């Protein structure tokens, strides 16, 4: 099973202004609970009790909140990005040491709320022997991951500009949560600031990067003020 996760919480949260003028996005409240607390408790529901969080924007507020609440019952470590935001790929690379000795881990954004069944996703991940399994849904967005008929990642598309990276395929919206085999970590050769999606696109021709579609479940991207109101109607 999976016992460790990384929650990506270093972003500036510019879409969530004015909250993020004085606070990190991960501490935005949904019905009195922060996104960070909700996601730590969500992971606990699947016996994932060891978490590393990358921090940059108002990093001390996140560290203080976790410390004051004893990690909401989990063992929490921090990956310091106060010198520079490294994005999803660079952030993972800096924190890679945390996953030594484990086979798989969860990587997820702090600003999503979902009822995705990690146990079922992990079962598929193992059955398909994937390097990474990416949670996706069929919903309208501007940027899509593209998958072939075997549900393997083959490309990426920006619907606003028409730009395509890789091969065309079936459009799915990425949910910001993934199961990754630690064997992927040495394959990350980029340095500095970069997206994990760029790594996936480099590898998708040679590696099994699979879709896990949870379109029938709940998912809320809590990136804008109005999306907090939407989340409060779903996640009590």
- Spatial distance between the Cα atoms of 165 and 51, rounded to a whole number of angstroms: 32
Q: Which residue has the tokens 């598309």?
A: 157
Q: Which residue has the tokens 């970590």?
A: 185
- Spatial distance between the Cα atoms of 42 and 45, rounded to a whole number of angstroms: 5
CATH code of residue 22: 3.90.550.10
Domain residues for the domain of 219 are 4-234
Q: Which residues pair with 211 in a beta bridge?
A: 134
Q: Strand, helix or coil at 136?
A: strand
CA dist 32 → 99, 157, 212, 218, 228 (Å): 32, 36, 31, 19, 11
- Spatial distance between the Cα atoms of 218 and 207, rounded to a whole number of angstroms: 29
Q: Which residue has the tokens 């799915």?
A: 172
Q: In Å, how far from its chain's centre is CA 35?
A: 13
Predicted confidence pLDDT, tens digits, the chain (236 residues): 999 999 999 987 777 777 678 889 999 999 999 999 999 999 999 999 999 999 999 999 999 999 999 999 999 999 999 999 999 999 999 999 999 999 999 999 999 999 999 999 999 999 999 999 999 999 999 999 999 999 999 999 999 999 999 999 999 999 999 999 999 999 999 999 999 999 999 999 899 999 999 999 999 999 888 889 999 999 99
- Spatial distance between the Cα atoms of 236 and 210, rounded to a whole number of angstroms: 31
Q: Which two tokens stand for residue 61?
A: 């507020």
Whether 218 and 229 have beta carbons less than 8 Å apart is answered as no
Please tell me the total count of domains within the chain.
1
- Spatial distance between the Cα atoms of 118 and 124, rounded to a whole number of angstroms: 10
């Amino acid at each position: 099973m999976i016992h460790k996760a990384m929650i990506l919480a270093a972003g500036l949260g510019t879409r969530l202004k004015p909250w993020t003028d004085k606070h990190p996005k991960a501490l935005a409240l949904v019905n009195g609970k922060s996104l960070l607390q909700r996601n730590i408790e969500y992971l606990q529901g699947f016996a994932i009790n060891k978490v590393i969080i990358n921090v940059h924007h108002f990093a001390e507020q996140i560290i203080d909140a976790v410390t004051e609440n004893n990690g909401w019952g989990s063992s929490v470590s921090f990956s310091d990005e106060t010198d520079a935001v490294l994005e999803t790929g660079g952030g993972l690379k800096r924190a890679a040491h945390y996953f030594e000795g484990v086979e798989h881990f969860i990587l997820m954004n702090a600003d999503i709320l979902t009822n995705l069944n990690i146990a079922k996703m992990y079962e598929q991940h193992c059955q398909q022997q994937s390097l990474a399994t990416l949670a996706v849904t069929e919903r309208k967005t501007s940027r899509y991951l593209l998958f072939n008929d075997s549900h393997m990642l083959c490309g990426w598309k920006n619907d606003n500009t028409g730009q395509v990276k890789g091969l065309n395929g079936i459009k799915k919206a990425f949910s910001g949560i993934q199961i990754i085999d630690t064997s992927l970590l040495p394959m990350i050769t980029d340095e500095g600031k970069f997206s994990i999606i760029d790594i996936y696109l480099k590898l998708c021709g040679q590696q099994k990067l699979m879709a896990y579609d949870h379109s029938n479940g709940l998912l809320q991207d809590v990136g804008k003020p109005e999306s907090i109101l939407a989340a409060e109607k779903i996640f009590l």
